[in-house]
Amino acid sequence: MLVTRKTRLEELIVRFNTVGQAKFYVEHLGADFSDYEAEHRTYGEAVKATEEILNRHGRVQQLDRSFLPNFLFTPDTLIVVLGQDGLVANTLKYLKGQPVIGVNPDPARWDGVLLPFKVKDLAKIAAEAMSGKRATRRITMAKAVLSDGQELHACLCALSNPIG
């Protein structure tokens, strides 16, 4: 399963109907529209490369983040999230222990604490994860400590460990 998101440019096109109107809006705010175009192009290339890599290992379904609340993940699904940290965290909310590989589509743009991998790493990581040879680490999405010392944990999820 490949979880993706719309780029800022795609979201503006949905809002304003055309690239020209989106460009007018962005430039009217004093921002650089070419940055939106570059981000869109880079993300599109990363999605294409990621799909090509994952298709070598089996059938791939791409899922936009807007469908996450309604999607039922099977227990044996390997989930690859291509986006920012927020997309990984949002995806983890809907899982029940399925392994997740966080892939940073644009390391020059995003640091990505939950995105330890680059697209070029994915061929090796996906093969190891699908064969069960890839170590994972559990992360806690939220932890609340009560005044009496009790701890409440929300969503313990498995992420593939970084290379190294």
- Token reading at 98: 């399925």
Instruction: Return the higher-pLDDT residue of 113 and 104.
Output: 104
**Average pLDDT rounded to a whole number, residues 49-67:** 93
- pLDDT of 156 strictly over 60: no
Q: Residue 35 — pLDDT band, cuts 50, 70, 90?
A: very high
**Average pLDDT rounded to a whole number, residues 128-146:** 75
Which of 80, 96, 87 minimizes the C-alpha distance to 129? Answer: 80
**Average pLDDT rounded to a whole number, residues 38-59:** 94
Q: Is the pTM of this model over 0.85?
A: no
Q: How far apart are CA 125 and CA 121, in angstroms?
A: 6
**Average pLDDT rounded to a whole number, residues 44-65:** 94
Q: 133 phi and psi, to 5 degrees?
A: -95, 0
